[in-house]
């Protein structure tokens, strides 16, 4: 069963271009980890007025996807992204998971 996920994050206003550049050059091991975790149809949108990011992705298995946080690839990516966005003590992005209230196929 596919799970649709929406998340909010925040990038620092002077780092918009860098945030996009880094995602356009996603580490191959991070891309592989996401694919192996069943993530697909993944997009991130930026509100340039606020620095707010909206991420949308679909996953095949939420537990398998959540396990990616323990991977070396993910920890490396988080450390790389930490200087340009709001992060937690473990360098993971501060993320607000959204509740889906409507979907139209």
* Residue 97 contacts residue 5 (beta carbons within 8 Å): yes
Query: What does the alpha-carbon distance between residue 59 and residue 40 come to, in Å, rounded to a whole number?
Result: 6
Q: Which CATH class is domain 3-98?
A: alpha beta
Question: Which token pair is 70?
Answer: 């323990």
Query: What does the alpha-carbon distance between residue 58 and residue 72 come to, in Å, rounded to a whole number?
Result: 22
Could you tell me the residue ranges of all domains in the chain? 3-98
pTM above 0.85, yes or no: yes
Q: Residues 69-90: pLDDT tens digits?
A: 999 999 999 999 999 999 999 9
Catalytic residue among 23, 40, 99, 103: 23
With CA atoms as reference, report the closest residue to 7 among 48, 49, 58. Answer: 58
Q: Is 10 a catalytic residue?
A: no
Query: What does the alpha-carbon distance between residue 33 and residue 49 come to, in Å, rounded to a whole number?
Result: 32
Residue linked to tokens 């596919």:
2
Q: Residues 26-55: pLDDT tens digits?
A: 999 999 999 999 999 999 999 999 999 999
């Amino acid at each position: 069963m596919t799970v649709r996920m929406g998340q909010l994050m925040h990038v620092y206003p002077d780092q918009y271009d860098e945030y996009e550049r880094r995602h356009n050059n996603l580490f191959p091991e991070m891309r592989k980890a996401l694919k192996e975790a069943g993530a697909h149809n993944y997009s991130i949108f930026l509100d340039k007025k606020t620095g707010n990011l909206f991420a949308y992705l679909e996953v095949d298995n939420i537990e398998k996807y959540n396990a990616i946080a323990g991977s070396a690839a993910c920890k490396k990516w988080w450390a790389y992204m930490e200087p340009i966005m709001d992060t937690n003590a473990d360098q993971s992005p501060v993320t607000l998971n959204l509740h889906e209230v409507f979907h139209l196929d």
